[in-house]
Structure 1
Amino acid sequence: MFKDKVYKVSSTARVEQMEKELSVQLAALRSEIEQSGIPLSGAPSTSFSSVPVPKDASYFRREREQLLKRFLQVSQGLPACSQAEVMQRELESCLNLEYTSESLPLLLHQTQVLYLVREYEDAVQRAHRLAASREMLLSGRGSPITVVTREDVTVYLSWLVCHLHSLKTIHSFLRITQLSESESKT
């Protein structure tokens, strides 16, 4: 724990001299801002401003003191351990089988979940791009094709071909049923 009695912040003459120089520079800056007529963000006035009020040298001294106190705090040391114990634990972990009949299903499930999550994230990103493209098309702002990637078009075309191919059998069946109905009526 840090003790204020052990270490004094800004106790050297050089640091005290630099603090005095900082105070002079800050006072000059404050008077220059006030003379220019710019309202300060912390000053009482009717208008608001983004120009911050220059801080005092004491503010920076307190900030430095807090920082030094934080740096002087040391966490507790690690407990001593025997090298032989570490080597024994490593040997035992090497002797254990990594893949067993109990762990294999969980490992396979984990790789499947990772694959599904990656596919889902890809689909979400693709959906966002296509939605942005649709918005651009409907609003007439910009070229909608700039948002769509070549892979998006490839995925859509492969889906369309598969979809149309799957409908081919159904359409053939419907045609046959329509023909059989028309023949039965005549």
Structure 2
Amino acid sequence: MDEVPYEVSGTEKVRNLEEDLTREINELRNEVEENELVHGITRPVCTVQLPKDPLHFRRERQLVINRALEVCEAKPIISQGELMKEEVDICLRSDYTPQSIPLLLHQYFVDRIQQLVHLKHLHLLRWSRFHEHSSTIESLYDEFQDRLGYAV
């Protein structure tokens, strides 16, 4: 598509529409300026922005057309044999290497710490419930401390 030159405003109809747009924008600007002079406003109090010039819209059309003319490249051909060989190589590699063992151990202990924290929390909740409804708290307090020491 690079060898096909495309002019955005090449047709007579588009040029006439751009001229009409330029005229309407100029009329709108003149009207706004007149209202500013009559009412003594330094800046227009309006949430609607003034339209840009026709060159802005021409550039927008050019960008849209260029995007529409872009074509994706074809996907590369993948050999099924190479893919299978790569999968076999991956399967033959060990998951446990000197580089991966520290990370695996770290992940194991992080998970284990989370479990222990959860266990300790549940144990404290159960003990507080038991403490509210039991009169034997004094005799079992040493056992509670021992179990709490094992959880930590």
Using the size of structure 1 for normalisation, the TM-score is 0.40
Using the size of structure 2 for normalisation, the TM-score is 0.46
Task: Identify which of structures 1 and 2 has the higher relative contact order when contacts are C-alpha pairs closer than 8 Å and 6+ apart.
Answer: 2
